[in-house]
Structure 1
């Protein structure tokens, strides 16, 4: 029997690395996980308490396709308090993780064959979801000169080669941790509106910033789609809960798609997540830990001979150029894991054209583990 073309997209390499790391751990050998992009901590205490209450008191059946109203109202309050932006809860969609949000927004915003621009390096699932949905990813090669982010000149240059129907912009970004300034985001938003380009703003790492706060596209565009998640700042990866903030013209299309594709996000996760916004002190302590971990690597990597890497202004990643040591980042990561127990992700996951000389380091784990990993990387490269 045939397998449809959409089912032949590449795997998510970081998951393959994690499997290899877990296989090593199963033999009794130690592993330092700098490959996977998730907090090493569980959900905040008040979220766990809310989940227990919901188990005892709520039906936990299907919810409205857009999610329970208390959570959508709390999200609207979050936008008012954090960004000074007014958002009608009717425009907020609670989704099965940000992944569900990307699928819904791509399906509603684009027709098969539409061309959607995205930065390279960038999160590989963007590219693979687009391909699976019959869309064409248009990768914008970026580098340190643009902080690994799309810019209006870069976008204009891509348009000269063919039409652009959409733009995915992530700030803070995976794998680089780079942030677009509020002025830069406003400029990109205006340009997209003028050109009829649908802006999809990935804001799932908001809250994990070390210098300036990341801006939301909602402050500068009425037509942008914002994607966010409880996985990163809120430390709730396994709860599989995200959300969209939609422009008015996409509300009903996304509602119909959501009803048919997912019915609703997990009821238990939704009830628990209402309490997540009362956990700022606990969550900001995690961000302070990420900063400490980042600073350890920023000091250690140059000493190990790795001198070119992203600024890492947010999220919990550093994207590092290891081209002086290898032209095969996958083999580099395989040897590093086998010989030192340190798991990193090869850059090929994020940039098929140039990732052979890059690796991503995730520093979302324990500070002790990050420090040990930095020492082992230095020994490995010496």
Structure 2
């Protein structure tokens, strides 16, 4: 029998299976039947901002060959990202420390490979974004789960980290986080970042949901707090450019060259056309802020209507576009529950076991970044489903 590698043992990212099931369900519906409401995936329903798409079209029509760029991306895009940190956070982030990547998904393995060795222990809150643990495991590192709950707002804290003996080699921190949508107060975020630096723990700060917050807390970036942290960001969420596969890293000086060498070998460069569009997206703020206004309205509607429908145990939802719902009073099998919700109510949701292997059987995640009309229709469908 032929040997298979460690990567062949990586567990599935279940939301992708839910997407497939929802696509099949939608394709099988008869003409005129109510459609499937997509609440399973964190994919904005608006698509790329118009100015970004127009910039890509203009470049293609001008005959730009769209060849390889430097491994870290076009200089003009890196300079624009640098300016973004100055404008939004008052942070000085030199373009030389910015790496344009194939989405945040391409950024994580670059960061993990440059910062850690096989066998290293990487801490993360549970529940967590599944590829954190899956990529870490595939690379021969060990995820170290920190069980969080409503009492900690689904976020870790310094006390949890100080209790670890020995300390972990790294920590993945996300604020706003997926799946709960909660945020750390800036002072708590800074305290964790400072603890990591002092303890020699490499902080990986996932900031892909920055820009998607609703006034309860202020976003904080590790780029202003820690000189040793790695920042991951993406054009997928706030900029609504999921399929363009474009993201970035802000790197500490000691990881710039190692990540560059890895990027040269693993990816060559991020897609050229996506880089052109991404640079233009920074000039599309009115359209992007209109998207946020839609998410805000959907969030408010769901936070009011879902408890009346029967889902009354919801996370605070400070940012991102997710609701983490405790359905333990309804089921102990979130996978079966979500399958029935899709089959009987036409609502695609992600079972909690994707995010928390031990406790996720009594949770599900709902995404509210889809069309407003769909989000408005969802509570009535859920209410009818729960009454059956």
C-alpha deviation, 1:59, in angstroms = 2.3
Which structure 2 residues correspond to residues 278-357 of structure 1 after superposition, within 5 A?
278-357=283-362
2:267 pairs, out of 262, 265, 268, with 262
Deviation per CA, 1:203-262, whole angstroms, max 9, x where unpaired?
001001101331101111000000000000000000000000000000000000000110
Query: Deviation of residue 144 (structure 1)?
Result: 1.2
Partner of 2:378: 373
Quick check: 1:106 aligned with 2:106? Answer: no
Written as runs of structure 1 = structure 2, the 5 A alignment for 1:1-382 is 1-28=2-29, 30-57=35-62, 58-157=64-163, 159-160=164-165, 162-211=166-215, 212-382=217-387
**TM-score normalized with structure 1 length:** 0.98
Q: Which runs of 5+ in 1 are unaligned?
A: none
How does the TM-score come out when normalised to structure 2?
A: 0.97
Determine the C-alpha separation between the residues in 2 that align with 1:305 and 1:32: 18
Greater alpha carbon shift after TM alignment, 110-119 vs 28-37: 28-37
Secondary structure of residue in 2 paired with 1:278 = coil
Checking the alignment, whether the CA contact within 8 Å between 2:167 and 2:201 is kept in structure 1 is no
Local SS of the residue matching 1:164: coil
- Cα distance between partner residues in 2 of 1:309 and 1:358: 10
Displacement of 1:309: 1.6
Deviation, 1:62, is 0.5
Distance in 1 separating the partners of 2:294 and 2:8: 39
What is the rounded CA distance, in whole Å, between the counterparts of 2:76 and 2:218 in structure 1? Answer: 26
Bigger shift: residues 210-219 or 282-291: 210-219
Question: CA–CA distance in 2 between the matches of 1:325 and 1:272?
Answer: 45
- Is the CA contact (8 Å cut-off) linking 1:170 and 1:203 kept in structure 2? yes
Q: Using the TM superposition, give the Cα deviation of residue 296 of structure 1 relative to its aligned residue in structure 2, in angstroms.
A: 1.3
Asked if structure 2 preserves the Cα contact closer than 8 Å seen for 1:54 and 1:272, the reply is: no
> Matched residues in 2 for 1:301 and 1:236: separation?
29
Contact 1:300 1:378 in 2 (8 A): no
The total of aligned residue pairs comes to 380
Unaligned runs of 5+ in 2: none
